[in-house]
Amino acid sequence: MSTDTAVAVAHPRRAVIDRAWRAIGPGVEVLSGDDGGPLRRTVKRIIDPLVLRLRSNTQFSAPFVAADVAEAMHHAIVARGAQLRAAAAWFELLKRERRRLRITSGNAQELYFPVCFELAVTKGAPAQPDSGAAESVLRDIHADRDRTAIEVLNTYSSDHLVISELAEQLRSSWSDVRAGTEITRPFLAGLTTVLGAADSHGAASARQRVWQALIADATPYNLGAAAHDDASQLPWSIVALGLSSVEPQGPPAIIGGSDSERPLNRSVIDRVRATLRRALDREELPDVPMLCEEEVDRCCAPWGLLAEDKQATLVAGIEVAVDLAPLSESATTRYDLARQIQARLRKEAYVLHARRYLAEGGPIHPRQQQVIDDLAAFARPYLSRLWARLHGRDVWQEPCDDVDDVRALLEGVARSVSLDHRQRIKTMLELQVAG
């Protein structure tokens, strides 16, 4: 068989999974993205390890698969349709119970997706209501999850000598970060391609090449370094964006601090604590002293991120964020990706209600006011959540070198903020009914 023929009969793995997922039909929306395909985490935590079982079926793991392998993959996924629908129902139940129990540690999708599929296989769909079973599952998942590592961190950070040594390291590392003199215009111009439309395979390939070049560009580093000394060199205000409480940005505290709401103000110990709470495989992390030392260096790096691809992604996210104005009907966007996000946000029912409330000038509930304030300055909650996700990727050294992955991240953050707003409005309505 010639090379041309081999390519012609090969099927992209992602497309095979996507088609099979859509063939399942309704009932898996909570495991799906806005476009109807499976979430990346659904693929990573359920489809690959538990449905396709890649360790046993290595032929399913290639980026491109032959027609017979594609057919087998399709059958394997569709055959599990009932269990995947049941897993989705379990996830919705666990999320509701998680909120009721006020559990905040760990990423719900990372933690619960595999458990939900296991429950679907062993128990079928959950009985409604089944909060008792859901509470038991959650307590099993979270039992002692935070306690040991957090206690070690608390003991370690209570040693005055340790804090003094970390403070000296921070002073030294902070002074090492200096902005270069390279011009920023080419990087920002390149974002037009990265955040723009790609209607053909050639355009998509070009977009990936541009992103690879932008990752290697000095601009994100220089902008983040300038924020330490002369914030007037930046195209935006880090205070207005909600990233810092002051301009120029000051070094964070080792422990304590006055403004933990702003990402770049959070203390070293608070950042390490967040890492420990998010971590699924703590044995893969360095020990607590090493984590603290690494975090000091990360705090001092531009944007509080060590890796160039994470710094570039944050700058791209800032450019998207400043374009987003869900409450404004007339605001225009510079980038196609921002336009797509903006259009979805404006169609949200709670956004339409908020616009109507503002137009009518009637009384606004405090919780509604909080959501309206977030919508009016959408960049703040958006960038706070984006920074947290990039911080996690930086700690775990997960790459941001795939442009489609980066675009999905930028879209996913907006969706996450919107879901949070929806939940706040729902809680407000429930309290009003209860009252």
Which pairs from 392-397 meet CB under 8 Å and 24+ separation? 392/275, 392/278, 393/307, 393/310, 394/298, 394/305, 394/306, 394/307, 394/310, 395/275, 395/285, 395/294, 395/298, 397/307
8 A C-beta contact, residue 190 and residue 213: yes
And the tokens for 295?
A: 């975090």
Query: Based on the domain organization, do 77 and 193 belong to the same domain?
Result: no
And the tokens for 431?
A: 């309290």
Q: What pLDDT, on a 0 to 100 scale, did the predictor assign at position 3? A: 40
Q: State the CB neighbour count (10 A cutoff) for residue 54.
A: 14
The whole-angstrom separation of Cα 221 and Cα 302 is 6
Query: Based on the domain organization, do 58 and 154 belong to the same domain?
Result: no
Chain segment 355-368, per-residue pLDDT in tens:
777 777 767 777 67
Q: State the CB neighbour count (10 A cutoff) for residue 85.
A: 19
DSSP state of 429: H
Chain segment 192-242, per-residue pLDDT in tens:
999 999 999 999 999 999 999 999 999 999 999 999 999 888 999 999 999
The partner residues of 119 in beta bridges, in order of sequence, read none
And the tokens for 82?
A: 């009932």
Q: What pLDDT, on a 0 to 100 scale, did the predictor assign at position 314? A: 98
8 A C-beta contact, residue 281 and residue 275: no
Query: Based on the domain organization, do 240 and 341 belong to the same domain?
Result: yes
With CA atoms as reference, report the closest residue to 381 among 428, 420, 328.
420
Query: Based on the domain organization, do 155 and 138 belong to the same domain?
Result: no
8 A C-beta contact, residue 19 and residue 74: yes
The whole-angstrom separation of Cα 84 and Cα 119 is 10
Task: Name the phi and psi angles at 64, rounded to 5.
Answer: -125, 135
Q: What pLDDT, on a 0 to 100 scale, did the predictor assign at position 128? A: 67
| DSSP-derived secondary structure for 307-327 | SHHHHHHHHHHHHHHTT--TT
Q: What pLDDT, on a 0 to 100 scale, did the predictor assign at position 425? A: 73
Query: Based on the domain organization, do 169 and 35 belong to the same domain?
Result: no
Task: Name the phi and psi angles at 361, rounded to 5.
Answer: 70, 20
Q: Which of 143, 172, 203 is the last residue of a domain?
A: 143
Strands 11-12 and 64-65: antiparallel
Helix axes 336-347, 403-434, angle to 10 degrees: 20
With CA atoms as reference, report the closest residue to 214 among 401, 396, 27, 2.
401
Q: What pLDDT, on a 0 to 100 scale, did the predictor assign at position 368? A: 73
Which of the residues in the chain have pLDDT under 70?
1-9, 105, 128-131, 143-147, 258-259, 279-284, 362, 367, 427-435
8 A C-beta contact, residue 179 and residue 229: yes
DSSP state of 260: T
Q: What pLDDT, on a 0 to 100 scale, did the predictor assign at position 1? A: 40
Distance of CA 98 to the CA centre of its chain: 19
Sign of the dihedral defined by the CA atoms of residues 257, 258, 261, 263, in that order: negative
8 A C-beta contact, residue 379 and residue 331: no
For 110, the domain range is: 1-143
189 residue type, one letter: A
And the tokens for 147?
A: 């306690």
DSSP state of 48: I
Residue position matching structure tokens 């996450």: 416
The whole-angstrom separation of Cα 247 and Cα 220 is 17
Q: What pLDDT, on a 0 to 100 scale, did the predictor assign at position 284? A: 63
With CA atoms as reference, report the closest residue to 385 among 432, 350, 343, 420.
420
Tell me the pTM.
Answer: 0.68
Query: Based on the domain organization, do 111 and 162 belong to the same domain?
Result: no
The whole-angstrom separation of Cα 66 and Cα 276 is 42
**Nearby residues of 5 by Cβ (< 8 Å), 6 or more positions away:** none
* Tally of domains within the chain: 2
8 A C-beta contact, residue 370 and residue 381: no
Q: What pLDDT, on a 0 to 100 scale, did the predictor assign at position 4? A: 41
To 5 degrees, how large is the angle CA 352–CA 376–CA 305?
Answer: 125
And the tokens for 228?
A: 């330490």
Residue 12 to residues 52, 114, 161, 208, Cα–Cα distance (Å): 15, 25, 55, 17
Q: Which of 87, 108, 143 is the last residue of a domain?
A: 143
Query: Based on the domain organization, do 154 and 133 belong to the same domain?
Result: no
Q: What pLDDT, on a 0 to 100 scale, did the predictor assign at position 296? A: 97
Query: Based on the domain organization, do 155 and 280 belong to the same domain?
Result: yes
With CA atoms as reference, report the closest residue to 304 among 27, 163, 313.
313
125 residue type, one letter: A
Query: Based on the domain organization, do 223 and 241 belong to the same domain?
Result: yes
8 A C-beta contact, residue 381 and residue 187: no
Query: Based on the domain organization, do 161 and 116 belong to the same domain?
Result: no
The partner residues of 64 in beta bridges, in order of sequence, read 12
Query: Based on the domain organization, do 164 and 48 belong to the same domain?
Result: no
Query: Based on the domain organization, do 65 and 190 belong to the same domain?
Result: no
Q: Which of 143, 160, 186 is the last residue of a domain?
A: 143
The whole-angstrom separation of Cα 211 and Cα 190 is 8
